């Protein structure tokens, strides 16, 4: 795949599909080891985490459940740092071992909000798994327990990640082209 135009921006291939798959394999292997016998509840953060959730689930050999929530927090190519609401948490999570699945952790404000919101429901434990993590942008103290791929501070799409609705279907990870 070469350069792809999404709305007003050009993106170039960055991480090939095979590397993304291998990174998800490693996260799945760790979850299979750490959560044997615990029946974790995986909570995917929509929209972006649908891809990561599906790819991870099919590699899990342990008993596990999955559900999804939605948080409105991001517009365009920069994080607003503002998070409004956690929508769709219907499962009872009290006493459960929860793993939050994020497509990408950037500044960490979204994950901070989710962790605070989940804590109100008294889960037994909450850990975080992220497909992509931008360590240079991260501003929180909360550890990101399972990171598939660390990436530099660039805007990326593909594998579930979008630019204003487009690009979620692109295989692998693409990053914004230098002007
Ligand atoms: P944070 O709250 O950690 O700053 O941002 C998390 C959210 O911002 C992600 O769930 C995602 O929706 C969006 N985001 C942050 N960086 C990127 C990026 O490089 N590409 C895309 N497509 N979304 C991003």
Percent share of the chain, pLDDT over 90: 84
- CA angle 150-141-146, nearest 5°? 40
Asked whether the predicted pLDDT for residue 23 surpasses 80, the reply is yes
* Protein residues whose CB sits closer than 6 Å to any atom of ligand 1: 48, 73-74, 79, 102-111, 155-157, 161-162
Instruction: Give the model confidence (pLDDT) of 109-149 as tens digits.
Output: 899 999 999 999 999 999 999 999 999 999 999 999 999 99
* pLDDT value, residue 55: 98
CB 50 within 8 A of CB 160: yes
Asked whether the predicted pLDDT for residue 31 surpasses 90, the reply is yes
Task: For the chain, list the domains and their CATH numbers.
Answer: 18-169 (3.40.50.2020)
Asked whether the predicted pLDDT for residue 8 surpasses 50, the reply is yes
Instruction: Give the model confidence (pLDDT) of 64-85 as tens digits.
Output: 999 999 986 555 455 555 545 7
Q: Whose CA is nearest to atom 17 of ligand 1?
A: 155
Q: pTM of whole model > 0.85?
A: yes
């Amino acid at each position: 795949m070469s350069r792809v135009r999404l709305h007003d921006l050009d993106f170039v291939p960055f991480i090939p599909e095979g590397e993304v798959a291998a990174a998800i394999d490693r996260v799945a292997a760790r979850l299979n080891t750490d959560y044997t016998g615990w029946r974790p509840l995986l909570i995917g953060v929509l929209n972006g985490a649908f891809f990561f959730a599906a790819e991870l689930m099919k590699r899990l050999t342990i008993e596990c459940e999955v559900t999804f929530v939605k948080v409105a927090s991001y517009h365009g190519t920069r994080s607003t740092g503002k998070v409004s609401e956690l929508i769709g948490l219907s499962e009872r999570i009290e006493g459960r071992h929860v793993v939050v699945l994020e497509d990408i952790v950037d500044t960490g404000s979204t994950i901070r909000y989710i962790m605070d919101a989940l804590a109100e429901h008294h889960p037994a434990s909450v850990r975080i798994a992220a497909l992509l993590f931008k360590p240079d942008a991260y501003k929180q103290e909360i550890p990101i327990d399972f990171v598939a791929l660390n990436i530099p501070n660039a805007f990326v799409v593909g594998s579930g990640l979008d630019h204003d609705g487009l690009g979620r279907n692109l295989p692998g990870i693409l990053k914004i082209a230098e002007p």
